[in-house]
Amino acid sequence: MKKYLSMLLFIFVLGCVASAVLIGMDILTSERIESNKEVELRKTVLDAFDIPYKMASINETYEKEIVIKMIGDLNFYLSPSQEIGFTYEGSGVWGPIKGFVAVDEEIETLRYVAVLQQEETPGLGGVVAEAPFLAQFVGVKIMPALEINQDSGPNKENEVDAITGATRTSKAFESILNSEIERYRLIWEQREE
């Protein structure tokens, strides 16, 4: 009996020590993780607007070139050429999909689409974050709405090809982009100059 109690006590102490180490590491790294997320967003914004930068001076370039206009609780990122960018977020099949979109000043044509976070199946829905898939969005019209289609025919000016084998992810991504673009468009059009 004493042997079992000492084993349980050892397991309990080991669990407490391991938990304390993990909690301590989370506390120590949480600020750096948030800082890295902010740098990743700044890098994405500069890439979206084709603004050259060096990683050593990314913050200075970002502060100099990008204007952030907050309307309500939404941030609009404005480029020197008056293109508009904004973040988006929505539910994918297995978790949230978050990213950044740049559009022309009329909010009618996509200029850039990036995925910053996703939890889709690697090799299937995870393709949503890969450059070849996202590249097909550049220059696509978003009026009346963006369509991600699986048909093999030529695409219309507001269509892109879906991800093969990931129909649900493709439809979720289409829904996220359309709803977020529409939400930002409505707020942008109602702004006071």
> What would the pLDDT profile of 117-142 be if each residue is shown by its tens digit?
999 999 888 999 999 999 999 999 99
What pLDDT score does 192 carry? 67
8 A C-beta contact, residue 63 and residue 71: no
Per-domain boundaries in the chain: 1-65, 66-189
User: How large a percentage of the chain has pLDDT more than 90?
Assistant: 72
Alpha-carbon distance values, 3 to 12, 16, 88, 155 (Å): 14, 20, 57, 72
Predicted confidence band of residue 191 (pLDDT cuts 50, 70, 90) = confident
CA distance linking residue 99 with residue 116, whole number of Å = 5
Q: What is the pLDDT of residues 145-164, one digit of tens each?
A: 998 888 877 788 888 888 88
> In sequence order, what DSSP letters do the residues of 101-114 get, joined into one string?
EEE-TTS-BEEEEE
Three-class secondary structure of residue 158 per DSSP: coil
| pLDDT(193) > 70 | no
CA distance readout (Å), 147 to 48, 119, 135, 137, 138: 21, 22, 15, 10, 13
**Each residue's pLDDT tens digit, 24-83:** 899 989 999 899 999 999 999 999 999 999 999 999 999 999 999 999 999 999 999 999
Rounded to the nearest integer, the mean pLDDT of the chain is: 92
Mean pLDDT of 85-106: 96
